[in-house]
């Protein structure tokens, strides 16, 4: 295991020393626009099939941080991937007393996460999760101001227009600070904050071989509108920015004649009235929460879903939505049309061109990670996406069960 951690450390040092080289190489020959990306500078710019890796909601325990995630990273690095994306949550919702790896929202946790991302051979994209910042105001996480922790992530992970990873990929960055800016932290405690307008630099977009990808900072549960110290002002600004970035992504994809779009965020927003885990239950046509609404529940996602549905229908080509949050690996078609209204028929019709992918995540059934347990590796796996821009559905998916993370049925 020392060898694994040495590999992670060396990868951080290599990437840190080589950042300027990668940036110079990526920008050489750029068209100078605000939305250029790695694909436009690629000499092998063809719509050829390729593969990407998706993961998230990891690690949640010492066992996952020390063994499970390093095993997953080594498994990804053995395969030829164009890039990888982590859909948020580099820690559990609460810090674990007595843990030997960082489990609160102290700076050490983000450094550990940076090491994981920079150990990946392929370009490593990332979008924040609620456990990474909105839940940091909990006492078990250190009682941080949540927005201050998000700004810390913006500085650490999103200070350049590039992914992380040993190899890097150029991304477009949501840089607007006037029409749809996010809120940034100036000063304050848990409940009183002085804000400033900042760019939502964590929202990224890139086009790779004819397919457009974008990340969105959308958080689980209620998107920072409930819990210990809700922040509606922050949530409203970020919601508007997310919707604007999502709509712009569709326009960019149409302008480039992209074969498909993939969005990646943390939140499971709840698409219909048959929840599997803890996602919100909605009327599949109106997207309103199903009554009676549980006490303390605040809807943080309907406005985004209504806007997304309009764009998906207008785009007509395949749209994939990747998320974590509810820790239930699945690939399905959960999004429904608003028409015809219930007054005509209560039958709900699926949006045929929309597909949802929820990545693996911590889903152990032991006590809340209070002791080392090999079963903590039981769900530390990832999803491989085969992308063929010339095929009808564009995306095909394959669960990657990491050989070293099989405590129940050992690898053959």
Do residues 361 and 349 make contact, with C-beta atoms less than 8 angstroms apart? no
Question: Cis (ω within 30 of 0) for the bond into 59?
Answer: yes
| Lookup result for tokens 């053995």 | 78
DSSP summary character for residue 49: -
Q: How far apart are CA 51 and CA 237, in angstroms?
A: 34
Q: Dump pLDDT digits (tens) for 232-276.
A: 999 999 999 999 999 999 999 999 999 999 999 999 999 999 988
Q: With CA atoms as reference, report the closest residue to 74 among 15, 127, 121, 112.
A: 121
Of residues 356 and 373, the one with the higher pLDDT is 356
Average pLDDT, integer, range 108-131: 98
Tokens of residue 301, six digits: 């996602």
Q: Dump pLDDT digits (tens) for 288-318.
A: 999 999 888 899 999 999 999 999 999 999 9
Q: Dump pLDDT digits (tens) for 358-395.
A: 999 987 645 554 555 778 888 999 999 999 999 999 99
Q: How far apart are CA 149 and CA 158, in angstroms?
A: 13
**C-alpha distances out from residue 396 to 55, 64, 99, 387, Å:** 16, 28, 38, 7
Average pLDDT, integer, range 105-116: 98
Confidence of residue 11 (pLDDT cuts 50, 70, 90): very low
Q: Indicate if the pLDDT at residue 153 is higher than 90.
A: yes
**C-alpha distances out from residue 172 to 86, 87, 163, Å:** 18, 18, 10
Average pLDDT, integer, range 151-155: 98
Q: In what order do the strands lie in the sheet with 395-400?
A: 124-126, 84-86, 50-55, 382-387, 395-400
Q: Indicate if the pLDDT at residue 148 is higher than 80.
A: yes
Q: Which domains does the chain have, with CATH numbers?
A: 2-405 (3.60.21)
Tokens of residue 246, six digits: 């999502």
- pTM of this prediction? 0.90
Do residues 245 and 216 make contact, with C-beta atoms less than 8 angstroms apart? yes
Residues whose CB is less than 8 angstroms from the CB of residue 274 and which lie 6 or more positions away in sequence, other chains included: 281
Tokens of residue 156, six digits: 């650490």
Quick one: CA torsion of 207, 112, 92, 174, rounded to 10 degrees? -30
Q: Indicate if the pLDDT at residue 117 is higher than 60.
A: yes
């Amino acid at each position: 295991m020392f060898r694994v951690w040495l590999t992670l450390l060396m990868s951080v040092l290599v990437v840190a020393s080589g950042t300027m080289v990668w940036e110079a190489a990526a920008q050489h020959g750029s068209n100078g626009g605000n939305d250029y990306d790695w694909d436009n500078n690629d000499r092998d710019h063809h719509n050829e099939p390729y593969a990407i890796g998706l993961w998230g909601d990891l690690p949640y325990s010492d066992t996952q941080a020390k063994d499970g995630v390093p095993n997953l990273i080594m498994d990804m690095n053995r395969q030829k991937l164009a890039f990888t994306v982590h859909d948020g949550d580099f820690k559990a919702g609460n810090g674990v007393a007595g843990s030997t790896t960082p489990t609160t929202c102290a700076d050490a946790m983000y450094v550990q996460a940076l090491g994981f991302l920079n150990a990946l051979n392929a370009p490593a994209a990332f979008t924040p999760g609620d456990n990474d910042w909105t839940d940091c105001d909990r006492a078990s996480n250190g009682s941080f101001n949540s927005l201050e922790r998000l700004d810390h992530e913006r500085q650490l992970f999103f200070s350049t227009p590039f992914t992380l990873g040993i190899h890097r990929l150029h991304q477009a960055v949501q840089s607007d600070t006037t029409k749809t800016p996010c809120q940034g932290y100036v000063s304050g405690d848990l409940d009183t904050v002085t804000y400033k307008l900042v760019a939502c630099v964590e929202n990224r977009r890139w086009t790779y071989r004819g397919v457009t990808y974008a990340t969105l900072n959308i958080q689980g549960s209620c998107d920072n509108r409930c819990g210990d110290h809700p922040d509606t002002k922050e949530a409203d600004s970020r919601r508007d920015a997310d919707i604007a970035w999502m709509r712009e992504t569709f326009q960019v994809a149409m302008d480039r004649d992209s074969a498909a779009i993939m969005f990646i965020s943390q939140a499971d927003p709840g698409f219909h009235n048959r929840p599997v885990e803890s996602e919100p239950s909605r009327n599949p046509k109106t997207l309103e929460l199903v009554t009676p609404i549980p006490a303390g529940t605040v809807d943080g996602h309907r406005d985004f879903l209504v806007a997304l549905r309009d764009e998906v229908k207008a785009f007509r080509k395949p749209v994939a939505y990747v998320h974590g949050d509810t820790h239930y690996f699945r690939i399905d078609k959960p999004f429904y049309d608003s028409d015809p209204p219930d007054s005509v028929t209560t039958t709900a019709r699926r949006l045929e061109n929309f597909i949802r992918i929820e990545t693996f995540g911590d889903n152990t059934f032991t006590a809340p990670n209070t002791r080392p347990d090999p079963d903590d590796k039981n769900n530390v796996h990832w999803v491989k996406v085969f992308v063929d821009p010339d095929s009808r559905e564009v995306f095909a998916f394959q669960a990657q069960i990491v050989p070293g993370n099989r405590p129940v049925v050992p690898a053959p």
